[in-house]
Amino acid sequence: MTDTIAKWERELGIAKKETQIKDSQIKEQNKLLETENYKVIKLTENIESLRNKIKNKDAKDSQIDGLNNQIRSNAEKITNITDALAKCNPQDSCPIEGPSGIYSMKIRGMNTFEAPCNSKGWLTIQKRFDGSEKFARNWNNFKKGFGNIMGEFFIGLERLHVMTEARPHELYISLGMVNGSKAYAHYDDFKIASEEELYELKSLGIYSGTAGDSLTYHKNKRFSTFDRKNDEHVHNCANGENGGWWYKSCSQSRLNGKFYKEGHTHDNKTNGISWGSWHNYDFNYSLTFVEMMIRPKTL
């Protein structure tokens, strides 16, 4: 017990020291920001003063151009300082209100990473829309994540586990067909288990939406990839370019399947991007748009 208390005290001391260092960095960057803003204000005042005092047009324009260049330089410094402030204080979720864009995320026990956020606080964890990224990946790829966050990507099962374990999250899935029709599925309590539990789809909560519920079938099922079979079928459901998923025997939905730009599979294969309840369980259909998003649940 004494050793445990001593360990806690050491960890608390380390955490306090890290907080003090971050606070010091933020104060230093704020001070620099204040200085650069002051310089911009004074330079702008000098320009107005010169406009009134200098009568020689060429001399006036030359000095004003010089001051404008200084203002641009200071503006670049301000942008760099603002970026540094964001890195000093990354978030563990998307801001509830704010512009859509790429944000730095820092979650417990993991390196800082970047993720797309929208203006309503949703963090995109998976996206498909043009077939530029291959989703028939191995276990390690799905664990760590892959792709381009500005394009098609998967954020990684380990990040999903850590985020959804830390606090309750909701899941929103936006779907689209080649004909332009759209639908969505929402689940109010999304949680992924650890790698030791094979990233089991541990919780979904209550469904709502327009696409029908094709994910509850996969609840409490473990994640499978072509090199790590964890499903209940005699064959590996992730083979044949089906992509990694929480397969049962085998699937009612498969959002990491092969991308078919025509909106349907070839040669009667059933390995496309599917959400069975939305297209009458005809698995020759293949969706041409998917976006999976999560955000902390509002209690």
For residues 173 and 26, the model is more confident at: 173
Domain range for residue 37?
Answer: 2-88
CATH number at residue 279: 3.90.215.10
Instruction: Say if residue 75 is in the same domain as residue 121.
Output: no
**pLDDT value of position 91:** 81
- What is residue 171's predicted lDDT score, i.e. its pLDDT? 98
| Domain shared by 71 and 111, yes or no | no
Percent of the chain with pLDDT over 70: 70
Global pTM exceeds 0.85 = no
Confirm whether 274 is domain-assigned.
yes
Rounded Cα distance, 146 and 263, in Å: 24
Residues 247 and 127 in one domain: yes
One domain for residues 72 and 113: no
What is the C-alpha to C-alpha distance for residues 169 and 9, in angstroms, rounded to an integer? 31
**Count of domains in the chain?**
2
pLDDT above 90: residue 114: yes
pLDDT over 70 (residue 13): no
Structure tokens given for 9 = 């005290």
279 or 299, greater pLDDT: 279
Across 26-55, average pLDDT: 58
How far is the C-alpha of 154 from the C-alpha of 145, rounded, in Å? Answer: 5
Report which DSSP code applies to 223: P
pLDDT tens-digit series, residues 257-295: 999 999 999 988 999 999 999 999 999 999 999 999 999
**pLDDT value at residue 108:** 85
For residue 156, what are its two tokens? 């990684």
The whole-number average pLDDT for the span 67-92 is 59
User: Domain boundary residue among 88, 111, 144?
Assistant: 88
Q: Is the same domain home to 116 and 255? A: yes
Both 71 and 148 in one domain: the answer is no
DSSP bridge partners of 92: none
In a shared domain, residues 212 and 271: yes
User: Does a structural domain hold residue 232?
Assistant: yes
Mean pLDDT over 23-34 rounds to 58
Clarify whether residues 110 and 236 are in a common domain: yes
SS3 category, 47:
helix
Domain termination site, one of 55, 88, 121: 88
Domain-located, residue 219: yes
- 216-236 burial string, b = 16+ CB within 10 Å, else e? bbbeebbbbbbebbbbeeeeb
Of 99 and 176, more confident:
176
Domain check: are 26 and 167 in the same one? no
pLDDT at 97: 80
pLDDT value, residue 38: 60
Q: Do 134 and 71 share a structural domain?
A: no
Considering the domain architecture, whether residues 74 and 111 belong to the same structural domain is answered as no
Looking at residue 92, its pLDDT comes to: 84
Residue 96 lies in a domain: no
In a domain, 94, yes or no: no
In a domain, 95, yes or no: no
- Residue 186's pLDDT band (cuts 50, 70, 90): very high
Rounded CA gap, 105 and 206, in Å? 27
Distance from the first to the final alpha carbon of the chain: 36
Q: Which of 85-89, 94-98, 291-295 has the lowest mean pLDDT?
A: 85-89
- Where is the domain boundary, 58, 88, 118? 88
Average pLDDT, the chain: 84
Q: What angle do CA 216, 217, 220 make, to 5 degrees?
A: 80
- Full DSSP string of 8-40: HHHHHHHHHHHHHHHHHHHHHHHHHHHHHHHHH
pLDDT higher than threshold 90 for residue 215? yes
